[in-house]
Amino acid sequence: MEAIQEQLDKLKTAKHACLDCGKRNGDYSARDPQFFVAECPLCGKQTKVTSAEHFGFFYRGLCRLRIHKARMERNARAQSKSA
């Protein structure tokens, strides 16, 4: 559960990301993105990154993680009830 929360927090606070992480978590829509070399906050690699806004601020990834988290919580509740 912590792992998902951690990922959520990372996505929420990330100001930029590399192309791989950005495309995995959002819709890449930049026409003329400005890349600079920095540590990607999502994968920790020192690489070319660009602003979170070019990935829709990771909206898709955040939605997916929230749904995943809700499902895990529901499963945990169901399990504790049947135990």
Span near Zn ion by CB under 5 A; candidates 29-37, 39-47, 54-62, 66-74:
39-47
Question: Closest approach of Cβ 7 to Zn ion, in Å?
Answer: 12
Among 40, 50, 55, 58, binds Zn ion (CB under 5 A): 40
Name the residue type at position 21.
Answer: C
Q: Six-digit token pair at 43?
A: 């994968």
Contact 59, 26 (CB under 8 A): yes
User: Does position 65 bind Zn ion by CB under 5 A?
Assistant: no
What torsion, rounded to 10 degrees, do the Cα atoms 29, 48, 4, 66 define?
-10
| Contact residues for Zn ion, defined by CB under 5 A | 18, 21, 40, 42-43
